[in-house]
Structures are given as C-alpha cells and as structure tokens.
Chains A and B, each alone.
Chain A
Amino acid sequence: MTEPLLTMTHVNKSFGPIDVLFDISLKVYPGEVLCLLGDNGAGKSTLIKLLSGVFKPTSGTVEMAGQPVDFASPRDAAASGIATVHQFGGTFALMSIGRSFFVGQEPTRKFGPFTIYDRRTANAVAVKAVREFGITRIDDGDRLIGGLSGGERQSLAIARAVHFGARVLILDEPTAALGVKEAAHVLRIVLEARKRGLAVIFITHQVVHALTVGDHFAVLIRGALAADFRKGEKTREEITDLMAGGEAMAELEAEIEAHSAASPDHAASVAGA
C-alpha cells in the first residue's frame, strides 16, 4: 500500500473545558475516499476545520506526506493542497462562472500598458475544467453561479479545487441539500476526483452515499473515533446501527449526566467516595 497522504495522530481538540475531539488517529491515502460518518455534534465539522486550517489541534500531530504541518489559516492549508468544499459550493451567486472560478487568482493579460483580467482565458479554463468532470450542461463561462443547480455548483467547486492543485479534497456534506439525481451526480464527481489520485474526505449523514463511493470509513461518536474500517468489512445495516447506537448511547449518557446534575447530593457522595 502507498504512503498515507494525510495522517492524524492522537489529535485532541478542546474549547476551554469542553473536549470536542478525543484521541483521533486517522490515515487518508491518495486515490481513496474516506467517509467520515457521525451524527450532528459528533465533531465532524471540528475535525475538518482542524484539517482546513480554521482551528489548531490542542494536542497531537497532523502530517501531510510525512511532514508535520501546522496551519495558521485556511489560506495556509489551501496552499499546501487541502481544499474544502462546503455544502453549497461556490458562494458568489452573482458572479460569473469564469470570475468566481478564478477569485483571488485571476488570469491576466497585457492590454497596452495595462494588465487586465483575461476574461476569455478564465471562462475557457473554467468551462473546460467543469466539463472534464462531466458537467456538460455548462458551456458559457459568463453565466452566473446563481443560475446553476446545487449539484452543478458543487461540481464547479470541486473542479476548481482540483484545478488549483488540491491533493486532499474535503467535502462537507456535499449531498445533504440535493435531490437524488443531483446527489448521484456529485457522487460521480467524487469518484472522478478519486480516479485522479486525490485523497477525498467525504463527510455525510447518508450511509447509502458513503457506501457508494467510500473505500474507508470512520464513524465519530461524541468526539471519539467509534469505528474505523474498510469497504466490505461492515454491512449497511451494521453501519447504520453503529451510528444509531452511538446516538442512543449519547442520549443515555446525557440522561445520566442530567440526573447527576439534578441531584447534587448523589454527585457529592460519589465524589467523596
């Protein structure tokens, strides 16, 4: 097996007294899709924020291609090849496809003594990049992002990340807001990204979507890694049970906590003993 592209070793993250992530160790390989499963509040978004440079881990290390990394900002993470695509893809609804594709990295050309934005190149490259991902309905780089469907926006955002040299692609619930057909579209693009040798981290609630594209699965429950297995090692029912069981466990724990908080005598006697 090849070397892992991204390795997290004993990563903890706490906000003040609250532990959000506890002892997470994960490896992500190039050309593989890691599905990160878990209920709301399980720590999925905190985990991806650690990887995309929004937060720093409280302890533990993150390595990229064997080198320890310490991202100061999302821009830093992006520069080392980690791209995050959020639920709604491109956010500049009123910008054209070409313009939003190249935001911050606009191609320019000489126009007399001036350096001007090269609209034609931008549009051509952007349209070509998305079409290579199978979105053939996009043929005009002047169209506004707001006119695209949710799936097309996702695809555009993924194509953009790949174009700008992403090696790790983090997809934050890309299929959550989409219909069945649109979701299938996005899943196909995830597979295309995998085929190109990217390491994909795919965050989702939907076990079906995860099973369709995933090579490797990690289930988070209340900030801890509850399961880490490869494709074919668990059935769909087992995974669903795992996620649901985790949820039930969480509820139970919350109830016990609430109970001990409500009866301080009991808590004190426990503490005293």
Chain B
Amino acid sequence: MTTTPSVTAAAEVPKSGSSFGKLARRPETGSLLGMLLVFTFFAIFGGINFVTLGGLASWLNVASEIGIVALPIGLLMIAGELDISIGSVIPASSMTVAIVSGFYGAPMYLGVIAALGLGLVIGLVNGLLVVRTAVPSFIVTLGTLFAVAGLTLGISVLITGSTGVPIKAAPVAKALFGQFIGGKFEVTILWWLAALVVVGFVLHFTRYGNWLFALGGDKISARNAGIPTTRLTILLFMTSGFAAAFVGLCQAILYNSAQVSTGTSFIFNSIISVVIGGVLLTGGFGSVVGIAFGTMTFAIVSQGIFYTGFDANWASLIIGILLLVAVLMNNTFRTMALSYSSGKRQARK
C-alpha cells in the first residue's frame, strides 16, 4: 500500500516547483499576502487620505508601538512561551518615569533607568517563576499582570494621590523617545526599525536564534543538545519586560503624562500581530519579517477603518476575522512547507 506513493516520489523531478516550495516554506509568505490584501482594501475604500503621508504616519505610529512589544512576544512564542504581563509593565513603566522624573523632579536619565530597570526586574521574576515552577507561562504572567497592575495603582495613589501624573521631559529625552518627526511620525518608528534589525539578526543569523527555534520545537531535546534552556527562557522574559517598559516610557514622554491603566490593549494586539505574522502558537516556527508584516497588518486595519466611511466599531470584526484567516492561511503554508518535495505526503493528499 505504501509502495505506490514512493514510486511517484521517485518519479518526481526534485527541482520542479522548488522556487515555489522555498517561498511557501518561509513563515512570512502568508503574512505578506495578508498585509497586501488589507492595504489594497483600505487604499480602495479609505480614499486618497489613507495613502498620503498622514495616512502612512497614522498606522506606522500604531505599528511601531505595538511592534516594539510584539518582537519579544514573538521570540517568546517561537520559544514556546507567552508573556501577557506586558499589559501592566507598560503603565508601570510610564508611572515610574513620571513619578521619578516628574513628581520628584529627579534627572530624566534616572527616571529612564528606573523604568527600564523595572521592566527587566519584572521580566526576571516572570522568567524565574516559569523555569522554577514549570507552571505554564500564560498563568505565571497572568499572575504578574494583575500583581504589577495592583502594585502600580497602589503605589501611585500612595505617593502622588492620583492615578495620573504629568511629566515634562527634558529636551534630549523628548527628542529620543517622544517627538514627532516632521510633525507626524513618532520617533518610536525608528526604534522599532532598529529593534527589527537587531532581533532579526539575532534570530536568523546567529546560533542563538537556532537555539530559540530548538527550544520551541522540543525543550528536552534542546537541553540534551547542550542549549542553556533555563538561561535562555529567563533572558527572553527579561527582553519582553524591557521592551514593554521602553514603550511605556515613550508613551509617558510623548503624551507628557502617565496613566495607571493604559496597557491592557497591548496584550492582545501584540499577540494578534505575532500570530498574523505566521508565528506558531505552540512554538518552533516564525520569522521577524513575518512579525513585522503582522504588526503592520494589524495597524493598517485598526487605523484604516477611520479613513473609510464605515463605523469604526467594525474594525474589531475585521481584526477578528483577519486573525482567523491568518491562522488558517499560515497552517496551509506550513503544511505546504512541510510537504514540499516530499512526494509521499503530496501523493496522499
């Protein structure tokens, strides 16, 4: 019974369709198609304003903020973990910089260091809890999500007596973290691009990237192959804590004030971006380019809707459907990637 497909496999010319196979095997192919589709849709229905510089800025600004968080979330997901505590690390970091440098009037760099340090510490706690307890990281970070949110609210009210603190950033800090370039483009776009380059390099061109894929593919085999899985996991959580703190910091400086509750939307938005970007939820598969496409797709939908005549409430519906379509499409592409030039599987279908 199994002989017939093998015969067809042997008869197959190995080179045929290999360029298509190579394309299909890339995790970002599906997300690129999705992004082009969504962009075309809003370019048609959004009118001329959507394709102007202003339109570009509106979704790039959103994409950059989500994108900075989505990158480490994507890495965690490739490694088979998840971090939802970013939803409260962002406001915690905003409040930290606002309290240190705004409320107490300490030098700006102290506030920045304190905020980023806080992100690293929360990441370290997440990482240690995950590797020590072996509780799923979703539950661990759900716990720290609430714990950090409670701490932020409690300490903010205790110190400042309110849930919002104004901050007047020093010019250098403002220029680095919270200005609009050309009056439209947030400076975070540049940070996002830099992060894309760095993370893309590490994931796809260094051996550490290979370790991440192995970690997400099979943790025990990865450990047996000599990969320091524990250290790697902790480091990943610290990276996501750091990135979330960075975004919180930028927001506080950009809007000249910090609020206790401004981060929860980032949890789902970043996960959606990463999944649309072709990262496998169970780990072991994904790419930085894909994550970037996914983030842009999400941002185009959430901002593009305002350029159309439609009620903005429909944006969530589109994003929901998009997410489902993206997952299905990614599954299809992944199956194609797996069966590429393996005649046996193709013959069975």
Q: Which residues in A have some Cβ–Cβ distance to B below 8 Å? A: 74-75, 78, 91-95, 99-100, 102-106, 108, 111, 114-117, 137, 139-140, 142-144, 146-149, 179, 181
A100 to B210, CA, bound (A): 8
B325-349 near A? 1/0 per residue, CB < 8 Å = 0000000001001111110110000
Check A93 against B222 for contact (C-beta < 8 Å): no
Q: Tell me, rounded to whole Å, the shortest Cβ–Cβ distance linking A172 to chain B.
A: 13
Check A106 against B210 for contact (C-beta < 8 Å): yes
Residues of A contacting B224 in the complex (Cβ-Cβ under 8 angstroms): 74-75, 78
Say yes or no: is B209 at the interface (Cβ < 8 Å to chain A): yes
Q: For residue B344, which residue of chain A has the nearest CB?
A: A149
Give the contacting residue for A92; candidates B207, B209, B221, B340; CB below 8 A. Answer: B221
A94 to B340, CA, bound (A): 12
Check A104 against B2 for contact (C-beta < 8 Å): no
Residues of B contacting A139 in the complex (Cβ-Cβ under 8 angstroms): 14
Check A104 against B227 for contact (C-beta < 8 Å): yes
Check A181 against B226 for contact (C-beta < 8 Å): no
Q: For residue B342, which residue of chain A has the nearest CB?
A: A147
Check B205 against A116 for contact (C-beta < 8 Å): yes
Check A106 against B207 for contact (C-beta < 8 Å): yes
- How many A-B Cβ pairs are below 8 Å? 94
A-contacting residues, B9-32, CB 8 Å: 9, 14, 18, 22, 25
Q: For residue A115, which residue of chain B has the nearest CB?
A: B206
Contacts A92-B217, A99-B210, A181-B6 known; A104 to B225 CB distance under 8 Å? yes
Please classify the interface of chain A as helix (H, G, I), strand (E, B), loop, or mixed, using the class held by over half of its residues: loop
Say yes or no: is B213 at the interface (Cβ < 8 Å to chain A): yes
Check A105 against B226 for contact (C-beta < 8 Å): yes
A114 to B201, CA, bound (A): 10
Q: Tell me, rounded to whole Å, the shortest Cβ–Cβ distance linking A161 to chain B.
A: 11
A-contacting residues, B279-301, CB 8 Å: 280, 284-285
Check A144 against B214 for contact (C-beta < 8 Å): no
A104 to B211, CA, bound (A): 7
A148 to B344, CA, bound (A): 9
Contacts A91-B217, A94-B285, A149-B344 known; A104 to B226 CB distance under 8 Å? yes
Check A144 against B207 for contact (C-beta < 8 Å): no
Please classify the interface of chain B as helix (H, G, I), strand (E, B), loop, or mixed, using the class held by over half of its residues: helix
Give the contacting residue for A142; candidates B25, B213, B221; CB below 8 A. Answer: B25
Check A92 against B213 for contact (C-beta < 8 Å): yes
Residues of A contacting B280 in the complex (Cβ-Cβ under 8 angstroms): 94
Give the contacting residue for A111; candidates B25, B205, B225, B345; CB below 8 A. Answer: B205
Check B214 against A95 for contact (C-beta < 8 Å): yes
The 5 closest A-B pairs by CB, nearest first: A104-B225, A92-B217, A106-B207, A91-B218, A147-B342
Check A92 against B226 for contact (C-beta < 8 Å): no
A-B contact pairs, 9 of them (CB 8 A): A91-B217, A94-B213, A94-B338, A95-B214, A106-B210, A114-B201, A144-B340, A147-B339, A147-B345
Residues of B contacting A140 in the complex (Cβ-Cβ under 8 angstroms): 18, 341
Q: Tell me, rounded to whole Å, the shortest Cβ–Cβ distance linking B195 to chain A.
A: 17
Check B217 against A94 for contact (C-beta < 8 Å): yes
Contacts A103-B222, A115-B206 known; A146 to B214 CB distance under 8 Å? no
Q: Tell me, rounded to whole Å, the shortest Cβ–Cβ distance linking B181 to chain A.
A: 29
Residues of A contacting B133 in the complex (Cβ-Cβ under 8 angstroms): none
Residues of A contacting B213 in the complex (Cβ-Cβ under 8 angstroms): 92, 94-95, 99
A146 to B344, CA, bound (A): 12
Check A93 against B226 for contact (C-beta < 8 Å): no
Residues of A contacting B205 in the complex (Cβ-Cβ under 8 angstroms): 111, 114, 116-117
Give the contacting residue for B2; candidates A100, A108, A179; CB below 8 A. Answer: A179
A250 to B227, CA, bound (A): 42
Contacts A117-B207, A149-B344 known; A144 to B218 CB distance under 8 Å? no
Give the contacting residue for A103; candidates B2, B227, B344; CB below 8 A. Answer: B227
Check B284 against A95 for contact (C-beta < 8 Å): yes
Q: For residue B346, which residue of chain A has the nearest CB?
A: A147
Q: Tell me, rounded to whole Å, the shortest Cβ–Cβ distance linking B101 to chain A.
A: 35
Say yes or no: is B3 at the interface (Cβ < 8 Å to chain A): yes
A192 to B90, CA, bound (A): 58
